[in-house]
C-alpha cells in the first residue's frame, strides 16, 4: 500500500544475529524470502555481520537486496570486532538500510528509535559506577546508550512506537543462558527510557539461548529475536511478526 494515510495496520518483522560471514552468500536471503508479503517493515537487531568486516557487510547488502520493504537496523557487538563499524554502517546505508544509533525515524506511520545498548547486568546485580576507572567507564557506556535511546524516543510523535536494541534491557529474555554471563547480555538501565516513553514493543537480539519474550516493570513487551533462538521455537520462524493497528486519520 503506497499511501501511509490509508493504512489500517503495520506489520513488523524483526530478527537479530544474522552473523553474515564470507560464506553467507545465498544463505540469508532464503530466510527472509517471505518477508515482502508478510510484513511492511523489517527490523534487524544487531550482529548483522560476524566479524564486522566490509566484505561481510557487502555480502549482507547483496542478501538484503531481495527485501523490498523498508529496513531499519542497529549494530551489535560483532559488528565492532574489526574496528571499523562506520564501514558496516556506510555499506548498509547505501543498500537502503536505515541504521539507528540514537536516532529516531518514522516508517509507515510508526516511529522507530534504536541504539546498540551495552552490558551491565540486571536488578540488584546491575553494575554500579564505583571503584576503578575501568568499572566507571563500563557503567558510563551503559548509561550513555540508555540516554541515546531516551533521546530518540522523546523525539517521536507517532501513535505507535517501536524500540530497537541489540543488548537485552530485562533479565527475563536472557533466561536460558548460563547465569554467569547474564551481566554481559544486557543491562537493566536500558529499560528505564521505556518506562518514561512507553513503546508498543522492544526488539533485541544477542541472547542466542535466552527466552523469546518478557516485560519491563511498566509492562512494555520485550521480544528477543536472535535468530538462533527463533530457530528453536515451534515451526522454527526466521523472524518475529508484530501487527499494529492504526487509528483512522
pLDDT band at 247 (very low <50, low <70, confident <90, very high): confident
Cα Rg, the chain, nearest whole Å:
17
pLDDT at 248: 65
Residues 22-51: pLDDT tens digits?
A: 999 999 999 999 999 999 999 999 999 999
- What is the DSSP-derived secondary structure letter of residue 8? S
Distance, C-alpha 226 to centroid of its chain: 9
Residues 152-192: pLDDT tens digits?
A: 999 999 999 999 999 999 999 999 999 999 999 999 999 99
Give 104's strand partners.
113
Give 215's strand partners.
221
pTM over 0.75: yes
pLDDT at 249: 56
CA–CA gap between residue 146 and residue 124 (Å, rounded): 18
Contact 145, 104 (CB under 8 A): no
- What is the DSSP-derived secondary structure letter of residue 27? T
Mean pLDDT, residues 10-16: 98
Helix axes 54-64, 85-94, angle to 10 degrees: 20
Domains located in the chain, CATH noted: 8-245 (3.60.21.10)
Mean pLDDT, residues 112-131: 96
Amino acid at each position: 500500500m503506497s499511501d501511509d494515510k490509508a493504512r489500517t495496520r503495520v506489520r513488523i518483522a524483526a530478527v537479530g544475529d544474522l552473523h553474515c560471514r564470507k560464506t553467507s552468500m545465498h544463505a540469508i536471503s532464503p530466510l527472509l524470502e517471505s518477508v515482502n508479503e508478510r510484513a511492511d517493515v523489517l527490523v534487524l537487531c544487531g550482529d548483522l555481520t560476524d566479524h564486522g568486516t566490509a566484505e561481510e557487510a557487502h555480502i549482507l547488502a547483496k542478501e538484503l537486496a531481495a527485501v523490498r520493504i523498508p529496513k531499519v537496523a542497529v549494530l551489535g557487538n560483532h559488528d565492532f570486532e574489526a574496528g571499523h563499524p562506520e564501514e558496516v554502517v556506510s555499506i548498509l546505508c547505501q543498500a537502503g538500510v536505515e541504521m539507528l544509533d540514537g536516532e529516531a525515524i518514522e516508517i509507515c506511520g510508526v516511529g522507530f528509535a534504536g541504539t546498540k545498548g551495552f552490558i551491565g547486568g540486571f536488578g540488584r546485580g546491575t553494575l554500579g559506577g564505583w571503584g576503578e576507572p575501568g568499572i566507571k567507564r563500563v557503567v558510563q557506556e551503559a548509561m550513555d546508550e540508555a540516554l541515546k535511546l531516551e533521546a530518540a524516543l522523546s523525539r517521536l510523535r507517532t501513535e505507535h512506537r517501536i524500540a530497537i536494541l541489540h543488548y537485552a534491557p530485562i533479565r527475563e529474555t536472557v533466561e536460558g543462558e548460563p547465569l554467569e554471563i547474564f551481566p554481559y547480555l544486557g543491562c537493566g538501565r536500558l529499560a528505564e527510557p521505556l518506562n518514561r516513553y512507553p513503546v508498543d514493543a522492544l526488539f533485541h537480539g544477542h541472547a542466542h539461548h535466552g527466552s523469546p519474550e518478557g516485560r519491563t516493570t511498566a509492562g512494555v513487551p520485550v521480544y528477543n529475536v536472535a535468530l538462533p533462538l527463533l530457530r528453536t521455537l515451534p515451526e522454527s520462524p526466521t523472524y518475529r511478526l508484530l501487527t499494529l493497528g492504526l487509528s483512522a486519520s
